[in-house]
Amino acid sequence: MAADRPRRAASLIGPAAVVVLVAAYAALWLIARPAGQPTGRYLGEMAGMLALLLLSLALVTSSGLTRVLEPAFGGFDRVMVWHRGVAVAGILLVIPHWILVSGPVNPYRSDIGDALGVIAALGLAVLVLWAFAPRLRRVQKIRLIARMASSTYERWRIGHRFTGLFVALATVHAALVDPVLHQSTPLLAAELLTGGAGIAAYLYRELLAQRLTPVYHYTVQQARHLNQNTIEVGLKPTGKQLRFFAGQFIFLALGAPEQFGYHPFTVASAPADEELRLSVKASGDDTRRLYADLRPGIDARVVGPFGMFDYRLGGPQQIWIAPVSASHPSSAGSAPSTVRLTTRWTSTTARRMKPVPCLSMRLPLPRRDTRRSHCTSSGPTATPR
């Protein structure tokens, strides 16, 4: 697995860049402090600028630059984890900013500047609350939280698109009313560069990403109900076929834009198959509607592939849980392992891993560990090549 070390090292570039940027920005504010600034207010303004940096990073990580971000963070899922983390951290830093700057007299305060700051802070706080509302079960008795938790994904996604506007308002607010920025050209330049980067990422996502991202056109060939809440969708290409490797996922839209918007699904077919198969579990409003109404012949649009799930990046001892019969997956969550088991392995690493039937599962284990596996005696035993 020495050949895969560069990929593992590359997946640390993104997290390291976030940490270095935050540390460098904080160091700049500690070094470039203008004379005569009260400590409390200065720390409050510093917290506000760090919040702006983190929110701009949240916009960058959701900008649609997937080909760049995925290798840097080790997969689309990790990009989204960092996206949520920096966004929440940015909102939390607004609290000490508001508390510490509200005391001393600020000669640069203005009604317009204050209004922009309030709108930006409240708007961003509502979006974060909206994102976490389904998990706040203890406070869902509050009507606002309950309405947020029960809203559809499409409504939340539309609201989420205002994030860049709120960051733009926060950037202008700081440039207008922050007394530190009025007395320090380096800090003002850093603030404009930080906010500008977030705004540029937001504009790219809204204006260019959809036009530059390739869309593959398919038709629903089959819609087979596997059980009471899972449907297997078979898609036939009508043009250029999507190329992917086992374990990746795509975004799927069906029919007209208002019928079924883009949702992520893991590919359950092998890369060599002409038909693109997806296992969809009816766990939300849209997927339940899909389970009930999907019929063959509907036009489909596919964007992707995404994801970097790769067994070669794992350790020498791995356990995969997947149905024994790859042609009848019983769960949508088992798709990545199912695809790996149905894909022909040709690499040196793959040839050393032998699937062993074990309690209705196949556990690919290294050759040296097969005799220590806790498998039943029923079924054939894997023989090392």
Say if residue 164 is in the same domain as residue 245: no
Average pLDDT of the residues of the chain? 77
- Picking from 212, 240, 262, the residue at the C-terminal end of a domain is 212
Instruction: Look at 85 and 283; give whichever has higher pLDDT.
Output: 85
Say if residue 116 is in the same domain as residue 177: yes
How far apart CA 328 and CA 334 sit, in angstroms, is 11
CATH number of 273's domain: 2.40.30.10
What are the tokens at 36?
Answer: 């005569």
Say if residue 172 is in the same domain as residue 234: no
Supply the pTM of this predicted model: 0.74
Say if residue 152 is in the same domain as residue 231: no
Say if residue 265 is in the same domain as residue 324: yes
Query: According to the model, what pLDDT value does residue 344 have?
Result: 45
Tell me 209's DSSP state: I
Query: According to the model, what pLDDT value does residue 379 have?
Result: 36
Per-residue confidence at 309, pLDDT binned at 50, 70, 90?
Answer: low
Residue keyed to tokens 């019969």:
325
Q: Quick one: residue 167, left, alpha or beta (phi over 0 = left, psi -120 to 50 = alpha)?
A: alpha
Instruction: Look at 246 and 306; give whichever has higher pLDDT.
Output: 306
How far apart CA 237 and CA 56 sit, in angstroms, is 38
Cα distances from 91 to residues 94, 231, 313, in angstroms, run 5, 39, 34
Say if residue 236 is in the same domain as residue 191: no
Say if residue 165 is in the same domain as residue 195: yes
Q: How far is CA 157 from the centre of its chain?
A: 13
DSSP output for 61-110: HTSS-HHHHHHHHTSHHHHHHHHHHHHHHHHHHHHHHHHHHSSS--TT--
**Mean pLDDT calculated for residue range 357-371:** 44
Residue 236 has pLDDT above 70, yes or no: yes
- Produce one character per residue of 168-203: b if its CB has 16 or more CB atoms within 10 Å, e if not: bbbbebbbbbbbbbbebeebbebbeebbeebbebbe
Residue 377 has pLDDT above 50, yes or no: no
Residue 259 has pLDDT above 90, yes or no: no
- Picking from 179, 212, 245, the residue at the C-terminal end of a domain is 212
- Picking from 166, 192, 212, the residue at the C-terminal end of a domain is 212
* Least trusted range by pLDDT, from 47-51, 58-62, 70-74: 70-74
List Cβ neighbours of 209 (8 Å cut-off, separation of 6 or more): 63, 64, 65
Q: Say if CB 166 and CB 195 are below 8 A apart.
A: no
Say if residue 59 is in the same domain as residue 140: yes
Residue keyed to tokens 């991202």:
213
Query: According to the model, what pLDDT value does residue 26 have?
Result: 94
| Of 136, 154, 160, 207, nearest in space to 62 by CA | 160
Say if residue 147 is in the same domain as residue 293: no
Residue keyed to tokens 């440039």:
175
How many residues are there in the chain? 385
Say if residue 123 is in the same domain as residue 252: no
Say if residue 246 is in the same domain as residue 381: yes
Residues 165-213 pLDDT 10s: 999 999 999 999 999 999 999 999 999 999 999 999 999 988 888 788 8
Q: Say if CB 235 and CB 302 are below 8 A apart.
A: yes
Domain enclosing residue 160, as ranges: 2-212
DSSP output for 222-289: EEEE-SSSEEEEEEEESSSPP---TT-EEEEEESSTTTEEEEEEEB-S-TT-SSEEEEEE--SHHHHH
Number of domains in the chain: 2
What are the tokens at 34?
Answer: 């203008």
Instruction: Give the CA-trace dihedral at 119, 120, 122, 125, to 10 degrees.
Output: 170
Q: Say if CB 244 and CB 266 are below 8 A apart.
A: no
**Mean pLDDT calculated for residue range 2-6:** 57
What are the backbone dihedrals phi and psi of residue 156, each rounded to the nearest 5 degrees, phi first? -65, -40
| Of 350, 267, 255, nearest in space to 295 by CA | 255
Query: According to the model, what pLDDT value does residue 164 have?
Result: 92
DSSP output for 73-84: HTSHHHHHHHHH
How far apart CA 265 and CA 286 sit, in angstroms, is 13
Highest mean pLDDT among 53-57, 66-70, 294-298: 53-57
Q: Say if CB 242 and CB 233 are below 8 A apart.
A: no
What are the tokens at 185?
Answer: 């050209």
Residue 353 has pLDDT above 80, yes or no: no
**Mean pLDDT calculated for residue range 124-144:** 77
Per-residue confidence at 347, pLDDT binned at 50, 70, 90?
Answer: very low
Q: What are the residue ranges of helices labelled H in the chain?
A: 5-10, 13-31, 39-61, 66-73, 76-101, 111-132, 143-150, 153-160, 163-177, 179-183, 185-203, 210-212, 285-293, 335-342, 348-351
Tell me 242's DSSP state: P
Residues 115-129 pLDDT 10s: 999 999 899 888 888
Q: Say if CB 322 and CB 356 are below 8 A apart.
A: no
How far apart CA 208 and CA 354 sit, in angstroms, is 46
Q: Quick one: residue 305, left, alpha or beta (phi over 0 = left, psi -120 to 50 = alpha)?
A: beta
Say if residue 208 is in the same domain as residue 233: no
Residue 283 has pLDDT above 70, yes or no: yes
